[in-house]
Chain A
Amino acid sequence: MSLSETLLPVAVLLPLGAATLMLALAHWLPPRLPKIVAIFVALAVCAICLGLAHASLDGPVRHWFGGWTPDAAHRPGVVLGIGFQADPASAALAAFCGLMFSASFVFAWGYFDTEHAHFHVLMLLFLAAMVGFCLTRDLFNLFVWFELMSIAAFALTAYPLGRSALEGAFTFTVTNALASFLMLAGTGLLYARTGTFDFATMGEAVARTGSDPVLTGGFVLVAAALLTKAAILPFHLWLADAHAVAPSPVSVIFSGAMVSLGLFGLAKLVAQVFSGSADVTGLVHGLLHGLGLATALVAGVMAFAQRHLKRLLAFSTISHLGIMLTALSAGTDTATAGLLLYILGHGLTKGALFMVAGTLLSLRQSADEIVLYGQGRGLWAPALAMIGGGLLLGGLPLGLMHGATGLIERSASAPAQAITTLATALTGAAILRAAARIFLRASGVPGPELLAPTEREHEKPDRPVWLMAFPALALVALALVPPGAALPFLGAATARLHDPSAPPLALPEGGSVNLVPLGLTAALFALALLRRRALHRPARAVTRAERAGFRALQALHSGLVGDYVTWMAVGLALFALASAL
């Protein structure tokens, strides 16, 4: 075995080993040791995966656990064991997870002083699950890592033990546990028809079978689970609650990496398993495209109408996930390349923004932009990170996200482009509005955000501000890297996501600088800050109508677990309708 083949399972086994060792010795370890170990393990995972991404440029790196290679059974189409496979995209995404975890660990330094190593044990298991999710090529193994990821996430959400945290964690657990049952049932259906779990072998079987309700049904169930994780309308309702109430270092991971992994898993399945099924590709191009646009728009509007900073960021995450889903459903190579780049750019930016929210929760004891009015004076580093992040999300023509948007829009229709641009501008303007209120004492009478739910809470104070600001600024700086340098790698990654032996793709160099999103962001931002008290009768009528609309939208995001589960069933019904038509 070559070195990279040996290192492939280490990327998962290292964090698992570190976590179990720390748990076994939790009672006797000095309190500082787990924090240091966790940072180094995350960095090591990042380095290993970067090495794998580099090595896989010469062809996919594979590792068959227990030596059960596909020919061990000497029967065609029967794969006895489980394989890991690193292609450039999967390995790079796993490395990205390692990077986000190390940043989050630095940010969380001093947050969890009292507990034994528990926080770091859970986080390392979480990391291992995400890396395994990226690297596996076995459907049931994918489910195992998906579920480990979920359970670690449930526990971490409830960690602060506050009232909202517990209730958010309860909703999160119920909805995502249901999603995992759907995924398991889907996996069972696909196994019953294809007789295998291995992506490549299953892909061959799917291409042989052709049109078949069992295959479509299996895909729908697995896709519903992944879309629940990726928070796509109408499966998205849990996210805003969970991300808003989880501890900030955990929200960084949730929004930065976990949710977009759901979409990445879906993209990988569509490319490697279902590319031969016309029914499934029809669903992807049709229904998923529509759901992506709806998600982008609805969540963008919701983000604009929030006052609780973390909830605002959570809705912005949902909105950007919708944009990513439109890229996924377009199905062209440039759009897929755009999707991969967008995951990185958005993850870095959103991670930094959640760190700013955490900094405010720690130093100013609130995350409510109206309560925090003018309280951010003197915190120049978080202000810089927040304004930078807001501009990046709002379409600043620099950095990874702008490059990704350029790639995605090459294959998007004009109405779709209009919707994604509007969604981008809404989220960007919402973040900039909050930043202006908090750090610059900009005024403006609150609009619909005044009605949004909020919470009085805080996070552990007396942590050094530079230790919280440094990772946030570093992530924003990384998101500002010019995308041109990454294009050759991205071309290879996109081509090999579909076919491991494909030649690298030549991606178009950065197109024209598109200032429309930024302009729209600025307009919405100005609209929010120039708002004055409605004194005249027509102005009052407008305000009243606006409030009624937003109130209806807020009522849909009720926070009740029964509502959320009902909407999940409606989502499944949408799939059933779309595949019957």
Chain B
Amino acid sequence: MSTLSPGALPISALPWLVAAWLFAVGLYGIVTSRHCVHLVGCLTVCQSATYVLLLGLGYVREAGPPVFYDHPPGTPAVDPVVQALVLTDIVVGAAVTALLLAIAIQVQRRRGTLDPQALRPLRPPPPSAE
């Protein structure tokens, strides 16, 4: 088991830490965002953390792409399964972004603002009669 002292961090852990960092930065952006479109951008930053993680998990040192057109089958190649997963991930991202932006357009029309701090579903109650 490796020690946890920062000086001794093996370089091979770097991609996973980058993924975690990206996710944290994205969360910071979402939490402090003052504009919905900016918020959607931060969401995609969070998502790119998963790209980094998945592609990193499939990387094989000194191996080529898993496409055996120029080099014959049998040459070392990286893991094709995680690449297929990332393709799915990208489609998920595109789908979610399209929906969120469409929602944002309608919110802008109805509320005249896209500040997440001002958007609350169900308004506060009418002043009480008491």
Name, among A163, A166, A244, A245, the residue most crowded by chain B CB atoms within 10 Å (CB to CB).
Answer: A166
B contact residues around A307 at 8 Å (CB):
125
Question: When the two chains form their complex, are residues A566 and B103 in contact, meaning their CB atoms are under 8 A apart?
Answer: no
When chains A and B are docked, how far (Å) is the Cα of A351 from the Cα of B58? 44
Query: What is the number of residues of chain B that contact chain A, defined by CB distance less than 8 Å?
Result: 45
A contact residues around B95 at 8 Å (CB):
151
B contact residues around A452 at 8 Å (CB):
125
Which chain B residues numbered 26 to 56 have a C-beta less than 8 Å away from chain A? 27, 30-33, 36, 39, 43, 46-47, 49-50, 53-54
A119 within 8 A of B: no
Name, among B88, B92, B103, B123, the residue most crowded by chain A CB atoms within 10 Å (CB to CB).
Answer: B103
**Chain A residue at minimal CB-CB distance from B89:** A184
Q: Contacts A166-B103, A566-B31 given; indicate if A311 touches B122 (C-beta within 8 A).
A: yes
- B47 to chain A minimum Cβ distance, whole angstroms, is 5
Task: Kindly supply a per-residue 1/0 record for chain B positions 52-82, scoring 1 wherever the CB is within 8 Å of any chain A CB and 0 otherwise.
Answer: 0110010000000000000000000000011
When chains A and B are docked, how far (Å) is the Cα of A79 from the Cα of B82? 15
**Residue in A174, A244, A561 whose CB lies within 8 Å of B122:** A244
Question: When the two chains form their complex, are residues B121 and A178 in contact, meaning their CB atoms are under 8 A apart?
Answer: no
When chains A and B are docked, how far (Å) is the Cα of A560 from the Cα of B118? 8
**Chain B residue at minimal CB-CB distance from A171:** B121
Question: When the two chains form their complex, are residues B121 and A192 in contact, meaning their CB atoms are under 8 A apart?
Answer: no
Question: When the two chains form their complex, are residues A565 and B31 in contact, meaning their CB atoms are under 8 A apart?
Answer: yes
Question: When the two chains form their complex, are residues A173 and B103 in contact, meaning their CB atoms are under 8 A apart?
Answer: yes
- A579 to chain B minimum Cβ distance, whole angstroms, is 16
- B119 to chain A minimum Cβ distance, whole angstroms, is 5
Question: When the two chains form their complex, are residues A180 and B92 in contact, meaning their CB atoms are under 8 A apart?
Answer: yes
Q: Contacts A140-B85, A450-B125, A454-B122 given; indicate if A147 touches B92 (C-beta within 8 A).
A: yes
Question: When the two chains form their complex, are residues B50 and A188 in contact, meaning their CB atoms are under 8 A apart?
Answer: yes
Question: When the two chains form their complex, are residues A565 and B27 in contact, meaning their CB atoms are under 8 A apart?
Answer: yes
- A368 to chain B minimum Cβ distance, whole angstroms, is 9
**Residue in A151, A166, A566 whose CB lies within 8 Å of B106:** A166
Name, among A165, A178, A559, A565, the residue most crowded by chain B CB atoms within 10 Å (CB to CB).
Answer: A565
When chains A and B are docked, how far (Å) is the Cα of A166 from the Cα of B31? 19
Question: When the two chains form their complex, are residues B53 and A185 in contact, meaning their CB atoms are under 8 A apart?
Answer: yes
Q: Contacts A164-B121, A185-B49, A453-B122 given; indicate if A155 touches B106 (C-beta within 8 A).
A: no
Question: When the two chains form their complex, are residues B27 and A167 in contact, meaning their CB atoms are under 8 A apart?
Answer: no
B contact residues around A304 at 8 Å (CB):
none
Which chain A residues numbered 534 to 581 have a C-beta less than 8 Å away from chain B? 558-562, 565-566, 569
A23 within 8 A of B: no
**Chain A residue at minimal CB-CB distance from B99:** A154
Question: When the two chains form their complex, are residues A562 and B32 in contact, meaning their CB atoms are under 8 A apart?
Answer: yes
- A580 to chain B minimum Cβ distance, whole angstroms, is 12
Q: Contacts A151-B95, A188-B54, A188-B85 given; indicate if A170 touches B119 (C-beta within 8 A).
A: yes
A158 within 8 A of B: yes
Q: Contacts A155-B99, A158-B103, A191-B82 given; indicate if A168 touches B53 (C-beta within 8 A).
A: no
A interface secondary structure, majority: helix
Query: What is the number of residues of chain A that contact chain B, defined by CB distance less than 8 Å?
Result: 50
**Chain B residue at minimal CB-CB distance from A558:** B120
A71 within 8 A of B: no
**Residue in A170, A187, A451 whose CB lies within 8 Å of B36:** A170
Q: Contacts A185-B49, A311-B122 given; indicate if A562 touches B33 (C-beta within 8 A).
A: yes
Question: When the two chains form their complex, are residues A166 and B107 in contact, meaning their CB atoms are under 8 A apart?
Answer: yes
Q: Contacts A170-B100, A562-B116 given; indicate if A181 touches B46 (C-beta within 8 A).
A: yes
**Chain B residue at minimal CB-CB distance from A241:** B121
A13 within 8 A of B: no
B contact residues around A284 at 8 Å (CB):
none
A477 within 8 A of B: no
Question: When the two chains form their complex, are residues A174 and B43 in contact, meaning their CB atoms are under 8 A apart?
Answer: yes
When chains A and B are docked, how far (Å) is the Cα of A558 from the Cα of B89? 31
- B71 to chain A minimum Cβ distance, whole angstroms, is 23
Which chain A residues numbered 493 to 515 have a C-beta less than 8 Å away from chain B? none
**Residue in B30, B54, B100, B111 whose CB lies within 8 Å of A562:** B30
A contact residues around B39 at 8 Å (CB):
174, 561
When chains A and B are docked, how far (Å) is the Cα of A565 from the Cα of B107? 20
B contact residues around A154 at 8 Å (CB):
96, 99
B5 within 8 A of A: no
When chains A and B are docked, how far (Å) is the Cα of A569 from the Cα of B46? 13
Question: When the two chains form their complex, are residues B120 and A151 in contact, meaning their CB atoms are under 8 A apart?
Answer: no
**Chain A residue at minimal CB-CB distance from B40:** A174
Task: Kindly supply a per-residue 1/0 record for chain A positions 39-59, scoring 1 wherever the CB is within 8 Å of any chain B CB and 0 otherwise.
Answer: 000000000000000000000
A144 within 8 A of B: yes
When chains A and B are docked, how far (Å) is the Cα of A560 from the Cα of B43? 16
Which chain A residues numbered 443 to 473 have a C-beta less than 8 Å away from chain B? 450-455
**Residue in B36, B53, B125 whose CB lies within 8 Å of A454:** B125
**Chain B residue at minimal CB-CB distance from A569:** B27
* 8 additional A-B residue pairs with CB within 8 Å, beyond A163-B111, A168-B121: A140-B88, A166-B110, A174-B100, A181-B47, A450-B128, A453-B122, A453-B124, A561-B116
**What are 13 A-B pairs at a CB distance below 8 A?**
A147-B92, A158-B99, A158-B106, A167-B111, A167-B120, A168-B122, A170-B36, A171-B121, A450-B125, A559-B122, A561-B39, A561-B119, A562-B31
Q: Which 8 A-B pairs have the closest CB atoms?
A: A559-B120, A168-B121, A453-B122, A167-B121, A241-B121, A164-B121, A562-B31, A192-B57
